[in-house]
Amino acid sequence: MRFLILSDIHANWEALEAVLGSVSGHYDRIVCCGDLIGYGPDPNRVVDWVRENVALLVRGNHDKAAVGLDNLEWFNPVARAAAIWTSGELTPQNREYVERLPKGPLAVDSYQIVHGSPLDEDEYLFGAEEAGQAFAYIDRDITFFGHTHLQGGFAMTRRRIWMLTGPAVDDESASLELDTDDAYLINPGAIGQPRDGDPRAAYVLYDPADHCIQYCRQEYDIESVQAKIRRAGLPDVLADRLATGQ
């Protein structure tokens, strides 16, 4: 079974569509680590697509915020404005679907998926220290997570934890051979709002039988999304940051 692993789509339809066009035929099932919506201009289009195509997913903090399951006080003003706008846009059916999204961790095949960390769906795993605490509670060899919008993640051998990264800016993909003695926290990166300095949409292909992770990046029509964000009256910074991947 070959998995396409997505995270942090953030209502960016153009990014999602470009990725789906380029990986067509290379996967059997789609998995998502949360944050379908928030920030981007196409919440209903993205949720409609997820409802049809993604059976295995967990909720993210922006999904919760848009349907009133999270306190907006925790959000910065830009994220809060986007959550309020998204809330007003969602159709009743999509709102109900988002409300019912499961909280991670969710077991899938031989691995698991979470939004933030295995201990706390809202925790950010930015560095080796946080990753080390998370590894202590993981009983699966591989966990996929999102939330930071940074493609890569962490690997842990018996005594050492190190950070993983995706392809260089000139490359479209990078492979990580998995060692069966080690444990991994893998971040596929963000589809809809990368923050690792590479504006291309990020995702992962994973086939458990191959013991290999493929980190991928895909260019998409950023200008169209920026125009939609501005037309919707969402904060300008949400359009600007897409061009720099920050």
Of the two residues 124 and 208, which places its CB atom closer to Zn ion in the complex?
A: 124
Of the two residues 17 and 121, which places its CB atom closer to Zn ion in the complex?
A: 121
Task: Name the one range near Zn ion by CB under 5 A: 3-11, 130-138, 163-171, 214-222.
Answer: 3-11
d(CA 20, CA 15): 9
Of the two residues 145 and 178, which places its CB atom closer to Zn ion in the complex?
A: 145
Which class for 48: exposed (0-12), middle (13-18), buried (19 or more C-beta within 10 A)?
A: middle
Amino acid in the structure at residue 54: V
- Residue appearing with tokens 């003695």: 181
35 touches Zn ion by CB under 5 A: yes
Smallest gap from residue 147 Cβ to Zn ion (A): 6
Of the two residues 8 and 121, which places its CB atom closer to Zn ion in the complex?
A: 8
Task: Name the one range near Zn ion by CB under 5 A: 30-38, 153-161, 178-186, 230-238.
Answer: 30-38
198 touches Zn ion by CB under 5 A: no
Of the two residues 87 and 183, which places its CB atom closer to Zn ion in the complex?
A: 87
Smallest gap from residue 195 Cβ to Zn ion (A): 9
Smallest gap from residue 116 Cβ to Zn ion (A): 9
d(CA 74, CA 71): 6
Smallest gap from residue 2 Cβ to Zn ion (A): 25
Task: Name the one range near Zn ion by CB under 5 A: 6-14, 63-71, 74-82, 88-96.
Answer: 6-14
121 touches Zn ion by CB under 5 A: no
Show Cβ contacts of residue 244 under 8 Å, excluding neighbours closer than 6 positions.
Answer: 197, 199
Smallest gap from residue 196 Cβ to Zn ion (A): 13
Smallest gap from residue 150 Cβ to Zn ion (A): 11
d(CA 129, CA 119): 14
Site residue total, Zn ion (CB under 5 A): 2
Residue from 6, 8, 204, 226 touching Zn ion (CB under 5 A): that is 8
Of the two residues 112 and 193, which places its CB atom closer to Zn ion in the complex?
A: 193
Smallest gap from residue 139 Cβ to Zn ion (A): 26
Residues interacting with Zn ion, by CB under 5 A? 8, 35
